[in-house]
Amino acid sequence: MREIMAFFHVASAILALGGTFFVVVILAPALRGQSQASETMRAAAKRFAPIVWVCVVLFVLTGLHLFGIRYLAKRADVSSTNWTLILVKIGLSLMIIVHSLLVTLPFKALEGIQQKRLKLLRVNLFIGLAVVAIGVYLVRQHW
């Protein structure tokens, strides 16, 4: 069961980060200066958003499950560096979720923020890579 959860945890991160990488590094620069760039980005976002939200839900649920297994099994020392890193990973993941909500929720009050969508996606990409790096470190520590 743990391996299945780990697979979905990693797969959801790969899909979300890979898609974000594509938008930030390939699609947005390719559309810069094009007459229908806004429409194309909106269409891409409309197709990509549901995939990202499925990935976010999977990532959170599997992450909670894996955290529970590891914490309950090892009774981790809350003063350890690994414990600090897992809390940083959770905090960074929450930042990604908040940024994603700000970018995708259809509220008038968020229109100003949503005009800076690409900047938030860039930030999410870098935060996501940091989350992956922390996760790799923790797995290598057998935590």
Q: What are the boundaries of each domain within the chain?
A: 2-140
Alpha carbon distance 115, 103 (integer Å): 9
For residue 78, what pLDDT is reported?
A: 64
**Listed residue (66, 136, 79) closest to 128, CA to CA:** 136
Residues 56-95: b if buried by 16+ CB within 10 A, e if exposed: bebbbebbebbeeebeeeeeeeeeeebeebbeebbebbeb
- The per-residue pLDDT for 141 is 81
Average pLDDT over residues 119-140: 93
Band (pLDDT 50/70/90 cuts) for residue 111 is confident
Predicted pLDDT at 104? 83
Dig out the tokens for 8 from the structure: 């979905």
| pLDDT score at 103 | 84
Number of Cβ atoms within 10 Å of the Cβ of 19: 19
Rounded CA-CA distance 1/92 in Å is 26
Alpha-carbon distance of 67 to 36, in angstroms, equals: 44
Sign of CA dihedral 139, 88, 133, 92: positive
Helices (H), the chain: 2-21, 28-31, 37-74, 81-104, 111-114, 117-140
Enter the DSSP assignment of 75: T
What mean pLDDT, rounded, does the chain reach? Answer: 89
Q: What is the mean pLDDT of residues 8-33?
A: 94
